[in-house]
Amino acid sequence: MASSSIEFYPNPGIEALQLFVLLHGVGGNPDNLEALGLALRVAFSNAVVLIPEGFHAYDNGGPGRQWFSTRGVGEDNRAERVAQALPALNEYVRAAQLRLKIKTGHTALAGFSQGAIMALEAVQADQALAGRVLAFSGRYATLPDKAPQYTTIHLLHGADDAVITVNHAMAAQHRLGQLQGDSTIDVASHVGHELHPVLIKRAIERLQTCVPLRSWEAAMGHDQAPPPDATVH
């Protein structure tokens, strides 16, 4: 049975300076993001990594969880459902920041699929919630009409994703560019709707090497620059 949450903390004697909150996809559970959590833990020794389970039972039954219902979901009602789900998530993130004494600018949200939708829309609803968003195989519920002022958005997608097509990531990057937002996009060839290791690797590289419009380096405490991965573009 999946854990209700997975949490990683810095080793004894290391001060917690960063917070990562990871959000799984619809019908999933925290175990689905354990590989990402472990990768973040290795790359950022001063980080706390929290992987909560979705706040609602999965529509199709079983042990899976979801952040909002996908029954009958479409372009006409997706944004409303996300908006209804956001307050509970934002409350969770704010409570963790307060408990751990970690600044909002040193917080990152990472999500896969439905979790990526929640992460992207969370910083639209509360622009001071997090300094970074890692959106794997996700999309906006509705393309934004303004870019988050304090958040760097990293869009990571599989070129062969048939569930949420890469066109959504490209449209998001284009819109954020028009709005002078701070964002990057990486598309992995021959990758479908999955949290593929190559995308995890690129996400770590983005966090370690991409200098945002406001400083993230103070939280990182180091400057590593791995070589770029030739299999993503």
> What is the rounded average pLDDT for all residues in the chain?
90
Burial of 159 (C-beta count, 10 Å sphere; 0-12/13-18/19+): middle
Confidence of residue 212 (pLDDT cuts 50, 70, 90): low
d(CA 51, CA 228): 27
The number of domains in the chain is 1
Instruction: Judge whether residue 24 has pLDDT over 50.
Output: yes
Tokens 């509360």 locate to 126
Which region among 12-26, 182-196, 199-213 has the lowest average model confidence (pLDDT)?
A: 199-213
Confidence of residue 4 (pLDDT cuts 50, 70, 90): confident
Instruction: Judge whether residue 54 has pLDDT over 90.
Output: yes
Does the residue 53 lie in any domain? Answer: yes
Three-state secondary-structure class, residue 127: coil
Instruction: Judge whether residue 210 has pLDDT over 90.
Output: no
51: β partners: 6
pLDDT given at position 228: 35
Catalytic residue IDs: 113, 161, 193
Q: Which domain holds residue 168?
A: 5-220
Does the residue 232 lie in any domain? Answer: no
Does the residue 233 lie in any domain? Answer: no
Q: What average pLDDT does this structure show over 220-228?
A: 43
CATH number at residue 15: 3.40.50.1820
Confidence of residue 93 (pLDDT cuts 50, 70, 90): very high
Does the residue 10 lie in any domain? Answer: yes
Does the residue 229 lie in any domain? Answer: no
DSSP 186: E
pTM confidence score:
0.89
In this prediction, what percent of the chain has a pLDDT beyond 90? 85
- Report yes or no: 210 and 184 within 8 Å, Cβ to Cβ: yes
107-120 pLDDT, tens digit each: 999 999 999 999 99
Selected residue with higher pLDDT from 149 and 92: 92
Query: Token pair for residue 77?
Result: 């009602």
d(CA 223, CA 199): 20
